[in-house]
Amino acid sequence: MAKLSLRFRQNLLLFVLLFLFGVIVTNHITQVNQLQPSNNLSKIYQKRQEELEQAILQYDSLTAENKRLLIEKETVIENQLNQKGYSNLLDELNKVKTLAGLTRVQGPGISVILNDKPSFDVLRDSADALVHDSDVRHVLDLLRASGAAALSVNDQRIVNASYVFCIGPTILCNMQRLTPPYIIQAIGQPTALASAIERDPMLSLRQSSEIGLIVQVKQLELVICPAYAEADDLNKYIDKLVVPVT
């Protein structure tokens, strides 16, 4: 009877040990399974980040190559017109391109920086504390009305075919997504341009402590506005126009 009792206790102890071991193994497997999706997400994020960095490098490389080819094209056209004695035609062409915003230009002017309220809180702050496409267009209109000869937003030249509108948290301009701060540059009489921005009542209201939008104006001796981004592909605009025969 004593032997049976001892064997029973041994079996019971073995059962308890095996049960505890099973619980430990189960918990370990559960923890591993819980960590696995997190690890996978981390790897996916890292891979996407690397792909984004490669795409940015490729974009920068292609942009630089496109600028180089445009310069070569302009040089070839200029040489051909000069060789054939069309220097007057070349001068007229350059004037038209300059007026149309198809060339890089420089001169005195101002820089206007529009930025969201620092530490913007979506739960506490008004949507007016964020820069919207209407703000950028408003500044551009003020500068045009004050005699700006050339305009750009974040190095995107503003011409007749340009557009500025919101796409989610970004602004789309000339097929480029722009993010704040938005740097608007204008060539013209610096004092007149700066005064138009600084005295505008809407911008003054948006800069109040209750809203907190950032508007910074700098008068500059030299402002450089790049050529229109699609200067080498104007056919899609021209083919919509019909010149009447008189």
Q: Which pLDDT does position 57 carry in this prediction?
A: 87
We report the CATH number of the domain holding residue 160 as: 3.30.70.1880
Domain around 148: 103-225
Angstrom distance (rounded) from CA 173 to CA 48: 25
Q: Is residue 187 predicted with pLDDT exceeding 80?
A: yes
| Within a domain: 209 | yes
What's the pLDDT band for 10 if we cut at 50, 70, 90? low
Q: Which pLDDT does position 159 carry in this prediction?
A: 92
Q: Which pLDDT does position 202 carry in this prediction?
A: 95
Q: Write down the number of H helices and E strands in the chain.
A: 6, 8
Angstrom distance (rounded) from CA 97 to CA 60: 25
Mean pLDDT of 141-159: 96
Mean pLDDT of 186-206: 96
| Within a domain: 117 | yes
- The mean pLDDT value of the chain amounts to 84
| Within a domain: 133 | yes
Are 71 and 147 spatial neighbours (Cβ–Cβ below 8 Å)? Answer: no
Poorest-pLDDT segment among 77-91, 134-148, 151-165, 194-208: 77-91
Poorest-pLDDT segment among 67-81, 95-109, 156-170: 67-81
Angstrom distance (rounded) from CA 149 to CA 164: 19
How many domains is the chain partitioned into structurally?
Answer: 1
Query: Could you read off the pLDDT of 212-236 as tens digits, one per residue?
Result: 999 999 999 999 999 887 766 666 6
Report the amino acid identity of residue 88: N
Angle CA 33–39–41, to nearest 5:
115
Burial of 172 (0-12, 13-18, 19+ CB in 10 A): middle
Q: Is residue 26 predicted with pLDDT exceeding 80?
A: no
| Within a domain: 127 | yes
Burial of 109 (0-12, 13-18, 19+ CB in 10 A): buried
Angstrom distance (rounded) from CA 147 to CA 193: 7
| Within a domain: 72 | no
| Within a domain: 55 | no
Q: Which pLDDT does position 182 carry in this prediction?
A: 96
Angstrom distance (rounded) from CA 194 to CA 172: 25
Q: Is residue 196 predicted with pLDDT exceeding 90?
A: yes
φ, ψ dihedrals at 241, nearest 5°: -105, 140
SS3 14: helix
φ, ψ dihedrals at 163, nearest 5°: -145, 150
| Within a domain: 34 | no
Query: Could you read off the pLDDT of 53-69 as tens digits, one per residue?
Result: 888 888 888 878 877 88
Q: Comparing 163 with 193, which gets the higher pLDDT?
A: 193
Q: Is residue 175 predicted with pLDDT exceeding 60?
A: yes
Angle between helices 190-198 and 133-145 (to 10 degrees): 140
Query: Could you read off the pLDDT of 33-55 as tens digits, one per residue?
Result: 665 555 577 788 888 888 888 88
Angstrom distance (rounded) from CA 143 to CA 196: 7
Q: Is residue 2 predicted with pLDDT exceeding 60?
A: no
